[in-house]
Amino acid sequence: MDASEVRSHEPRALVEIAHLSKGYVRGGQQVPVLTDINLTINERDFVAMMGPSGSGKSTLLNLIAGIDKPDAGSLLIAGEDITQF
């Protein structure tokens, strides 16, 4: 087995989130929803999110999908920083 075969078996990061934060303004007040989130999802990973209503699950999915933009942090999809689009 040569080095190229070894590299092909290493998991590739599809989603890389670093220090991601997002909040919304409600009634003139800034409401933090996600604060300093760090997450890596590799190819072939299965991921489930659980949490109570209002915990930020949909907000995180909207950020990963590029529907919304984070207030801070980086979000890479297959190595591309989608926060810069």
The model carries a pTM of 0.84
Q: 58 lies in a domain? A: yes
Closest CA to 35 of 59, 62, 68, 13: 59
Which band of pLDDT confidence, cut at 50, 70 and 90, is reported for residue 7? low
The DSSP H or E segment spanning 62 is helix 57-65
Q: 4 lies in a domain? A: no
Which residue range(s) make up the domain with 80?
Answer: 10-84
Q: What is the pLDDT of residues 22-55, one digit of tens each?
A: 999 999 999 999 999 999 999 999 999 999 999 9
Work out how many domains the chain is built from and give that number.
1
Q: 1 lies in a domain? A: no
Which band of pLDDT confidence, cut at 50, 70 and 90, is reported for residue 59? very high
Average pLDDT of the chain is 92
DSSP three-state, residue 17: strand
CATH of the domain at 70: 3.40.50.300
Closest CA to 34 of 68, 67, 70, 65: 70
Q: Dihedral angle at the C-alpha atoms of 17, 76, 50, 71, nearest 10 degrees? A: 60
